[in-house]
């Protein structure tokens, strides 16, 4: 079955880098995603990575994929207060749908 796990909380200081981790179990996942949810809002796609890639960089965001260990991470460089949100990883392993992780609440402190 599919199971996607994340740590629930992360606190960083403004200007530092944030690293949010995710582990998944379905090795057939073709795409893995990172979504951001701000308070009281829906989820917005941040970035995604195809399963045959190890790394993807998009401005301040770096996604690393270790397919052997089924480990996905999202690094946010120079974290700002506007980055405070809940971050969800998701995988496509279960057919025509996404399976989401539990979400990591990122708190950015001044």
d(Cα 75, Cα 34) in Å, to the nearest integer? 11
Q: What backbone phi and psi angles, to 5 degrees, belong to 34?
A: -125, 125
Quick check: 65 binds other proteins (CB under 8 A)? no
Tokens of 35: 């979504």
Cα 96 vs. chain centroid, distance in angstroms? 20
User: How many Cβ atoms are within 10 Å of 46's Cβ, its own excluded?
Assistant: 17
In whole angstroms, the minimum distance from the beta carbon of 78 to other proteins comes to 26
Which residues make Cβ contacts (< 8 Å) with residue 95, sequence separation at least 6? none
Binding flags for other proteins, 80-99, as an x/- string (CB under 8 A): --------x---x--xxxxx
Only one residue has tokens 């969800």, namely: 88
Quick check: 20 binds other proteins (CB under 8 A)? no
User: Which of 15, 16, 27, 50 touches other proteins by CB under 8 A?
Assistant: 50
Quick check: 44 binds other proteins (CB under 8 A)? yes
In whole angstroms, the minimum distance from the beta carbon of 90 to other proteins comes to 8
Which positions lie near other proteins, rule CB under 8 A? 4, 6, 8, 30-31, 40-45, 48, 50, 88, 92, 95-103
């Amino acid at each position: 079955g599919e199971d996607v796990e994340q740590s629930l909380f992360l606190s960083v200081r403004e200007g530092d880098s944030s690293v949010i981790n995710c582990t998944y179990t379905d090795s057939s996942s073709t795409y893995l995603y990172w979504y951001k949810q701000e308070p009281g809002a829906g989820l917005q796609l941040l970035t995604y990575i195809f399963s045959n890639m190890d790394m993807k960089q998009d401005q301040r965001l770096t996604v690393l994929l270790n397919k052997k260990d089924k480990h996905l991470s999202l690094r946010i460089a120079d974290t700002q207060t506007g980055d405070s949100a809940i971050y969800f990883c998701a995988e496509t392993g279960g057919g025509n749908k996404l399976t989401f992780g539990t979400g990591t609440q990122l708190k950015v402190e001044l």
